[in-house]
Structure 1
Amino acid sequence: MVRASRRVRRTIPLVLVVVWLAIGGMLGPYAGRLGEVATNDQAAFLPRSAESTQVLQARKAFERSETVPAIVLWTAPGGRVDEARQQAATRAVAALAGRPGIAGTPSPATASADGAALQAVVPLAPNLGKELPAVLEDVRAAARQVPGTSAQIAGPAAGQADLADAFSGIDGLLLGVALGAVLLILLLVYRSVLLPLMIILGAVFALGLSCAVVYWLAARDIVRVDGQVQGILSILVIGAATDYALLLAARFKEELATRGEDRTRAAWTAVRRSAGAITASAATVALGLLALLAGDLTNNRALGPVGAIGILCAVLATLTFLPAVLVLTGRAAYWPATPGPATPGPAGAEGGGHGVWRRAAALIDRAPRRVWASTALVLLALAAFAPGLSSRGVPLDEIFVSDAPSVAAQQTLGRHFPGGSGNPTVIIATADRTAQVTAVTQDTDGVASAAPVTTTGRPGPGTPLVVDGRVRIDATLEAAADSDAAKDTVQRLRQRLHAVDGADALVGGYTAQQYDTQTTAARDRTVIVPVVLAIIVLVLVLLLRSLLVPVLLVATVALNFAATLGVSALVFEHLLGFTGTDASVPLYGFVFLVALGVDYNIFLMSRVREESLTHGTRAGVLRGLTTTGGVITSAGVVLAATFAALMVIPLAFLVQIAFIVAFGVLLDTLVVRSLLVPALVVDIGPRAWWPSTLARPTADRPLPVGTPAG
């Protein structure tokens, strides 16, 4: 019977490893296939109930065929564009009609008011995908046939091409940089060859499983995925899986040193004692991400379920694959730094710890109030700069970190044509109010021109195109489409046109979309932030069986978030040159930092509570800090490095998210969790555990004789 039991205990780990190898082999390729079901059309991620979203749907009825415009721009260096060049430009784009990827007849070339530039619109077929760069190259080659001019391409088609180029490295480059950084850190910190490879392999398996699930859901339009969500999913799974694996591996090493050669029992004990902290940490992140579903901004809603799926897969791999391979490898997993037998006293597994953390514990023990007060003051000083972080959106010329051809072309377009050229404001109104709505639009401050779309399919003089009793009016704004001035014009237009009796007017277009996204993101923050905080407090209460400690933990992590935003405001403006952040950046930063920041406090405080049950609160805090300090700091460095890998994708949104999360995680790991939280709990004493039995003064036991306080 005993032999049979031993065979079962040896067989289960082997079966688990084989199952995960099969999952990795079959589902691993899906990590590189999410691009097949991803969309980088930002219109698909607009607010669900916004006026600009309604216009986007209504304007489709006025399009004879769905197209994506490419705006061809010619300039004559040091001179003016004469009529001969204008005719040559018209002939050049007209010759494109009928070619692959061209969806209609290009418009004639028109000259700018200053006579120094020409522009024409070439309609491209939608959803060209990988063929888009080749089609644009054909357009560019035709445009270059106009003598004495230089040609550029602006507009949505050019922007899509640059966006696709920016995301082209998201499958290979991003994943390679992230995994390489994690592997290097693990090798340096743990001085082990096999363990880092095992942890990385588990993270890759978790990523493959999560990507396969997301692929299946996205292919059936159950979830939406774009390049940003795709990149964040990869980083989130790798970082979370590595963090959870480090906690479990450290506990296994500790148990192995205590239990000698019985690695099966050591693995089971390590899983049993760390599963609570790991699952609670995962629950805070997953539920925090799912809270994004309470928002109206579709991009926020897209990340919620996708991220939660990734976290669940990371937990599953950590609690099944890693224990199995640790049982099979035993002490060899840590070679050449194999764990030795447990030793009593401060160097032992129970009361020992790295010298740095022993000194930190001693400092906290001597002057806890001074430590937490000075730490809190520093964080408050940094948080004072947080209001300087603008979330009014990223200007077009800052969307790409590196130079992008579409951005340069748009800037040239803005110098010679009205700022809103190429991105008209679209108005949908009742047909019998066409003249009145057009007049009000033209008379609105900030509007350069306005005209209804005619039966030719283009705005201008002629018979307006009427569809279901409605007309479409295109307005060109004087200011650049992404500017605050343009957004103010959209607000004025809406106020004036909504007041036109019987017009039932709706105002949309690129500028309106940016404005609606900005206002909806602000509304989402007011809804989602309290939900996330409530979820985290509830999880902590259930884990720690206390009310005061969870509130303290959430408050410290929120302070860390505010301090991080303050530092980010200074770095973005003065070092990186960003004049604003994407509207979703503060919310994403909050969800990631608060949820992930609580992770480390969960790792710490669950161990502190375990130690406090035996040694009392004061000793429990100091023992918990010295025991978990190294592994939690390593986990924080790993997570910061994985998020920093997002910077290889040259998009402002991902660079901003990467900095906020990476810096915030390091600040939380090295300051908040190492100094502020332990010092607060030591200063408050057993009352911190109220209303549990640990809150009773008699529950605070002295340190064992001979064990230093640090």
Structure 2
Amino acid sequence: MIRESEAHRTMRAIARFISGRGTAWVVLGLSVVAIGLLFALLPKGSSDSYPESGLPDSSEAAQVSALLEQFPSADSTAAILVYDRGGDALTDADKAAVTASAEALASDSIAPQAVVPQFSDDGTAALVAVPLDAAEVDDDVQAAAERIRTTAADGLPDGLTALLTGPLGFQADIGNAFAGADFRLLLVTVIVVAVLLIITYRSPVLWIVPLAVVGTADGLARIVVTSLAEPLGITVDASIAGILSVLVFGAGTNYALLLVARYREELTRVDDRHRAMLTAVTSAGPAIAASGGTVALSLLTLLFAQLAGNRALGVACAIGVAIAVLFALIVLPAALVVCGRGLFWPFIPRVQKDAGVGTEHKGVWMRLGRGVQRRPAVVAVVATLGIAALALGLNGGRVGLSQTDQLIGDPDSVVAQRIVDEAFGAGLTGQTVVLTPDAAVADATALADGVDGVVSVRAGESHDGLTRLDLTLDAEPQSDEAFTLIQTLRTDYASSPAPLDQTLVGGNDATALDENTAAAADQALIIPLILAIVFLILALLLRSLVAPVLLIASVLATFFASLGASNLIFQNLMGFPAFDANVVLFAFLFLVALGVDYNIFLTTRAREETVAHGTREGMVRALSSTGGVITSAGILLAAVFAVLGVLPVVALTQIGVIVCIGVLLDTLVVRTVLVPSLVFLTGDAFWWPSHPARRGSQARGNKLEA
């Protein structure tokens, strides 16, 4: 109790300085100066537009990639041009034009003699592979792709098209998908947040301050993260930058809504706005800090992930959330106090004579709370059955997208790959690479030839005792069939006698397989860690062991329901055949961490009300007090995550849709009716082993005796 009172006094002293009559100006001024210096002095990094695999060194595909970097051809990549006439047979003029196009492309290749056209057996398509200098391509992927496309299309007959695919084609199209992503995401996010804030506050002025504060926090978070990327050894690609921006805007605006709502409530009780903000910060501050801490610590569990991309996302977003919390608890209170009551115009809160006797607890949320209180068991059963019904949508769900399913729409690389699959064979461009000891080349070739599904094996260059074999598989790249073939090859080689057992299988399909395996391992490790952190924070904050179990169970139910509902939408409306490998983990992380936020906002207020009114009445009053602001915050957060759908990348769209549905379920069903019904059913046991209601009644009894 002594430590608690000391912590409370320290927090109150800090809050008093932030909201003080003169010190608020000091805090705001110092904040502006500090933020300006950080913007000016921190190095301006840039996000890599092309996400890297980030496989651990123990991965067989990663070992193959590392060894191939020592081979003479390590500095080469390939552009693959596919020519077709919409499925019709190529004419003689078409074939002559393709041959001429190959000769023109050869002038840009590092191996001109290898640039020869291949015509499909059915005569409907032609393929030209163009070896290129990898370093030159990496310097400017888009320029290299545009140059190849222009050369290939020059002089083609009407109706004959040349489409770029292969490593260069997919890399260029992914880069195009993220081109301008930062600006597009920021613009749409700002518009969404501004509109929802105007609707929430019903003021043409008030929304400007929270949006300016959160927008500045987002800008600073981007600079801090990119400047720390190199020292921390992480790569911040465009997808991470997009998720970071959405998370900072979503979480930061949520914290702002909670603080402003409590500040407005206190302005109806006291004349002094500085005193009102002091109460708002000391009351809402612990909930905001706990919510932000839950999200940040949950994100930091990704440091234990195998995939480097997951670790980078965890570090970047944890930094962003920490900055959002600091802005919400320091910059925003000072800015609101400095601006005064007029900021709420035209609905300026005035002191009400009957404030504090329960008038603020009237309205739709009070009626809803009373309704749930009358029949908590029925409400709990109906809500649980509804959530379970949505979770059934997971039946038939799959994890793992093929290469052609990872981008929305029909970019050239995807269309060309489909043509190759139909006209030449699904695995022609799959790039499966086997590295085998020189002494085992004949045996390695024979073994691969004997595997059903391997179309061809070509021996290539040798280096440092290893020979490269290029395999063509009869399976669509990065499909389940391709993964099965990769696993079969690895198993057969590993079970062979020495030195054949030292053979390694890598390439594009093997890399995708190892990424999926690592993603599954990350999921199995990170999810329990997140649950443990959330439980610990809730237990410390609520001083209860029962409440965290019930709250976490409700959030888990929301997670599975949102996955089920999303799976139905993806398969039946959006045409996504499966979840991306990392989507399940990211969705769990954001839904659990952010979903617990609303439960924290509700239950901390319920505990505060329980001391004065008892557990059940305290929950009704807490729901009445927080219902409007939490619902607004949930709708806003859902809308902000839905903004990820503006990017033509399936993984980001899936994250946005899942989190959007999950947050709406959590806000409108779980926090509104399910959690209150559980509290009404358990009563004082909800707070066990602490007894806030008993302590409150004892305090009231002592006052009466006095």
TM, length-normalised to structure 1 = 0.90
Counterpart residue number, 1:460 = none
Q: Is the 8 A contact 1:689 1:695 kept in 2?
A: no
Among 145, 148, 153, which residue is 1:136 paired with? 145
Among 249, 263, 269, which residue is 1:238 paired with? 249
- Cα deviation digits, residues 283-334 of structure 1 (max 9, x gap): 1111111112222122222211111001000001001111101111121121
Among 329, 338, 345, which residue is 1:335 paired with? 345
| 2-structure distance, mates of 1:6, 1:470 | 69
Among 382, 386, 394, which residue is 2:390 paired with? 382
Counterpart residue number, 1:53 = 62
Q: Is the 8 A contact 2:19 2:274 kept in 1?
A: no
- Cα deviation digits, residues 665-698 of structure 1 (max 9, x gap): 0110000000000111011101111000237599
Counterpart residue number, 2:476 = 480
Q: Does 1:174 align with 2:185?
A: yes
Distance 1:284 1:549, change over 3 A: same
Aligned counterparts, 1:205-604, within 5 A: 205-220=216-231, 222-260=233-271, 262-344=272-354, 352-353=360-361, 355-391=363-399, 393-453=400-460, 465-501=461-497, 502-503=499-500, 504-604=502-602
| 2-structure distance, mates of 1:153, 1:349 | 71
Q: Is the 8 A contact 2:205 2:344 kept in 1?
A: yes
Q: Secondary structure at the match of 2:69?
A: helix
The runs of at least 4 aligned residues of structure 1 exceeding 6 Å deviation read 5-8, 29-33, 102-105
| 2-structure distance, mates of 1:565, 1:325 | 40
Distance 1:180 1:468, change over 3 A: same
Counterpart residue number, 1:70 = 79
How much does 1:24 deviate?
5.2
**Paired letter, 2:434:** I
Aligned length: 677
Q: Is the 8 A contact 1:612 1:700 kept in 2?
A: no
Q: Is the 8 A contact 1:556 1:677 kept in 2?
A: yes
How much does 1:343 deviate?
4.3
Q: Does 1:152 align with 2:157?
A: no
**Paired letter, 2:524:** T
| 1-structure distance, mates of 2:250, 2:98 | 56
Name which of structure 1's ranges 329-338 and 532-541 shifts more when overlaid on structure 2.
329-338
**CA RMSD between the two structures:** 2.6
Distance 1:271 1:439, change over 3 A: same
Q: Is the 8 A contact 2:478 2:513 kept in 1?
A: no
Q: Secondary structure at the match of 1:42?
A: coil
Q: Is the 8 A contact 1:74 1:118 kept in 2?
A: yes
How much does 1:104 deviate?
7.8
Q: Is the 8 A contact 1:30 1:211 kept in 2?
A: no
Name which of structure 1's ranges 82-91 and 430-439 shifts more when overlaid on structure 2.
82-91
| 1-structure distance, mates of 2:119, 2:111 | 24
| 2-structure distance, mates of 1:7, 1:586 | 40
Among 96, 104, 107, which residue is 1:92 paired with? 104
Name which of structure 1's ranges 374-383 and 587-596 shifts more when overlaid on structure 2.
374-383
Q: Is the 8 A contact 2:428 2:472 kept in 1?
A: yes
Distance 1:265 1:678, change over 3 A: same
Name which of structure 1's ranges 171-180 and 348-357 shifts more when overlaid on structure 2.
348-357
**Paired letter, 1:51:** E
Q: Secondary structure at the match of 2:463?
A: coil
TM, length-normalised to structure 2 = 0.91
Q: Is the 8 A contact 2:77 2:133 kept in 1?
A: yes
Counterpart residue number, 1:199 = 210
- Cα deviation digits, residues 391-447 of structure 1 (max 9, x gap): 1x1223322212211111111122222211222111111111011101111211111
**Paired letter, 1:90:** A
| 1-structure distance, mates of 2:252, 2:173 | 32
- Cα deviation digits, residues 240-276 of structure 1 (max 9, x gap): 110001111111111222111x122221221111111
| 2-structure distance, mates of 1:491, 1:30 | 50
**Paired letter, 2:331:** F
Distance 1:367 1:553, change over 3 A: same
- Of all paired residues, the percent bearing the same amino acid is 40
How much does 1:26 deviate?
5.6
Distance 1:216 1:477, change over 3 A: same
Counterpart residue number, 1:708 = none
| 2-structure distance, mates of 1:595, 1:329 | 33
Q: Is the 8 A contact 1:72 1:143 kept in 2?
A: yes
- In structure 2, stretches of 5+ residues that fail to align are 1-15, 701-706
Q: Is the 8 A contact 2:552 2:596 kept in 1?
A: yes
How much does 1:619 deviate?
1.0
